Chains A and B, each alone.
Chain A
Amino acid sequence: MTNNLRHLMKPLDFSVEELEQLFDTAADIEKNMSAYSHKCDGNILATCFYEPSTRTRLSFETAMLRLGGQVIGFSDASSSSVSKGESVADTIRVISSFADICAMRHPKEGAPMVAAANSIIPVINAGDGGHHHPTQTLTDLLTIRSLHGSLGGFTIGLCGDLKFGRTVHSLITALVRYKDIHFVFISPKELKVPDYIIDLLNENNITYEEVIKLEDVMSKLDLLYMTRVQKERFFNEEDYIRLRDFYILNEEKMALAKENMHVLHPLPRVNEISVEVDKDPRAAYFKQVQYGLYVRMALILTLLDKTDAHINQGLLRTF
């Protein structure tokens, strides 16, 4: 098992071709959910969450339950052996004896990588501090692919906290591998996208622009990715309060957008998208949550090496 053991630590761990297969599986799950309900019969997912994250944890747990598997785990470091001083390496060695696959969230950057290095089961990074959150990136990519029809040939606006926003950095880094994408960065100067991202775009000859006002660029966007200004990334509460309300997407701004534009958001939102926008058919952030479930189901199947069996069964069903 260890010879073919595969983990997911970073958004770019999978090649573009591997992602296509993963997204094809996810798309098939969306259409034929019931066909997958016994794929993981007898398998156990361990959700090791050293810090609270209800949304991501429930998405992973639902994914495994929808595949017919079962779930064990903890959702808070205080309720685990960590409170007694156990290392990540020791924890995963123990978990490996109980479960078939593990999703780990940890406040320390690189912790899931330490787990993967000491594990005999696949480990999924479910978020490590402000470092990586690869399944959010997979969710975003699948959402774009499903709603826009392809991962390329569009103008995407990224709005809000582009400096500390981990999901935004991962998404841009992942989209660099696709063709004909124009980036529009919309943020106050205090929350501009970091230099290393700009360097990456320049190195790959990818076009981009940086603006302050959302209204100025709304009409040219095919996709708008909104982000929350996260309090936990600030050392100074005054700065947080000042920048929190800088961008609020409302009906007025939506009126400037294309008819077929899609609004994405990693959630949870605070007030950066007015609730009045929720009923707009272009608001796709709750659909995005669904895609997150499909992609996590596809990921579990992929890492447990159960996709081939599905494809064969799928072919049998087709013919």
Chain B
Amino acid sequence: MLNVGKIEEGFVLDHIKAGRSMQIYRHLGLDKLDCTVAIIKNARSNVMGKKDILKVECDIDTLDLDILAFIDHNITVNVIKEGEIVEKRALFLPHQIKDVIKCHNPRCISSIEQGLPHIFYLADEEKEIYRCQYCDEKYQESAKTEN
């Protein structure tokens, strides 16, 4: 079994659905940070069978974690200080998502207008429904991994 050491200061994203860690890596902008990041793919999990884990050695408050709830609200966020978990941070669905997903409605202006940001708003928090800001088309879950 592969062992990845503990981190002293930073955070761990656990229970990521297997295969989604790179998507989160990109959306959190971790590629732009000058800190240690461990990406663990397909780790064994009693509950999930397989899961991904991200360990990041940086201040959690420098990142916008809201997008995590949109990608997968089952992800757990553990804040680490001096090698110990000091906080389990709750995730909330963001009210707006910008340039994370694309509208697939061919009648939407975002399909032709150059340089237009793809913006979705939270239309129904209970049902976790997002709609395109321009055409109000509902975002389909099946397209989530395409973007």
Using CB atoms and an 8 Å cutoff, list the residues of chain A in contact with chain B. 87-89, 106-111, 113-114, 128-131
Contacts and interface: CB of A to CB of B under 8 A. Distances in A.
B114 A87 contact: yes
A129 B134 contact: no
Contacts of A107: 107
Contacts of B114: 87
Given A114-B134, A131-B135, A131-B136, A109 B113 contact: no
B133 A108 contact: no
B85 to A, nearest CB: 42
Contacts of B112: 108
A114 B109 contact: yes
A232 to B, nearest CB: 12
Interface string B119-144: 00000000000001111110000000
Contacts of A110: 108-110, 132-135
A109 B134 CA distance: 7
Given A113-B134, A131-B135, A108 B108 contact: yes
B132 to A, nearest CB: 7
A151 to B, nearest CB: 24
A66 B51 CA distance: 67
A109 B108 contact: yes
Contacts of B108: 108-110
A77 to B, nearest CB: 12
A109 B135 contact: yes
A108 B107 contact: yes
Contacts of A106: 109
15 contacts: A87-B113, A87-B115, A106-B109, A108-B108, A108-B111, A108-B113, A109-B134, A110-B109, A110-B132, A110-B134, A111-B113, A113-B109, A113-B134, A114-B116, A130-B107
B73 to A, nearest CB: 23
Interface in B8-34: none
A128 B134 CA distance: 10
A130 B107 CA distance: 9
Contacts of B36: none
Of B108, B109, B115, B116, chain A has the most CB atoms within 10 Å of the CB of: B109
A72 to B, nearest CB: 23
Contacts of B113: 87-89, 108, 111, 114
Given A87-B113, A109-B105, A111-B113, 9 more contacts: A88-B109, A89-B116, A109-B108, A110-B108, A110-B110, A111-B109, A114-B109, A114-B113, A131-B107
B74 to A, nearest CB: 27
Contacts of A128: 109
Of B114, B135, B137, chain A has the most CB atoms within 10 Å of the CB of: B135
A87 B114 CA distance: 7
A106 B112 CA distance: 12
A284 to B, nearest CB: 30
Interface string B92-119: 0000000000000101111111111000
A89 to B, nearest CB: 7
Contacts of B109: 88, 106, 108-111, 113-114, 128
Closest 3 pairs (CB-CB, A-B): A110-B134, A109-B135, A108-B109
Interface string B76-99: 000000000000000000000000
A130 B115 CA distance: 23
Nearest to B132: A110
A87 B135 CA distance: 17
A109 B105 CA distance: 9
A129 to B, nearest CB: 5
A83 B52 CA distance: 49
A131 B107 CA distance: 9
A211 B137 CA distance: 28
A129 B135 CA distance: 9
A89 B107 CA distance: 17
A91 to B, nearest CB: 11
A108 B136 CA distance: 12
Nearest to A88: B113
Contacts of A113: 109, 133-134
